[in-house]
Amino acid sequence: MKIYKSNKSNKKVVIFMAILIIAILFGVIYFVYIKNNTPPGAPTREEISTGEDIKDQSLESGLDGNKNQSGSDPSDSPQSIEGSNKKSVSLTINSATQEGDILQLRTAIQAITDSGKCTISITDSLNKAYTDSVGVQALPATSTCKGFDIPTSSLSKGDWTITIKFENDEIIGNATKVVNVK
């Protein structure tokens, strides 16, 4: 006597598993898209609220007259120089990188101006020197020297002291940095 097992029980297990997988998928989709109500990459409610708070604080400080016109930290605002009608501003050498046979220098002047001149003086330990001048370019919150791209053929290998001075009719600034030319 042969006993035949029915395929009905196997079919029921397969159907049950398929329904279970579909239910889990719908649960995940519900949680990710409907429950959170934000598609991936969009700002969350908390991020939006924080941004609005910062914007309100910024607007309030502007209405109070405390807004710094240079767009920089108040500690970087121009400082009076005794015995001079010019003011001193912060000048920073942001970048000093060697790309092949060019030494690139980039700066930030903590004031908004498009007038004036930036002068660079580079010296090594043997007092060999390189000098150059460029104009100034205003940016939204600061200004910058238009950039120094110095051929390394003008410099020998080793440490060089870079001094950049900025000056126009109203303000001055300077910065110094040591770089190694390879």
Tell me the HSE value of 39 on the side-chain side, using a 13 A CA sphere: 0
Higher pLDDT, 44 or 173: 173
Give yes or no for residue 40 having a pLDDT over 60: no
Identify the bridge partners of residue 159 per DSSP, sorted by sequence position.
180
pLDDT digits (tens, 9 = 90+) for 88-135: 899 999 988 998 899 999 999 999 998 999 999 999 888 888 999 999
Give yes or no for residue 25 having a pLDDT over 80: yes
pLDDT band for 37, please (50, 70, 90 cuts): low
Domain boundaries, the chain: 8-63, 74-181
Give me the residue label for tokens 């050498």: 93
pLDDT band for 50, please (50, 70, 90 cuts): confident
pLDDT band for 70, please (50, 70, 90 cuts): very low
- pLDDT at residue 5, as a whole number: 61
- CATH level 2 (architecture), domain 74-181: Sandwich (2.60)
Reported pTM? 0.56
158's torsion region: left (phi>0), alpha (psi -120 to 50) or beta?
A: left
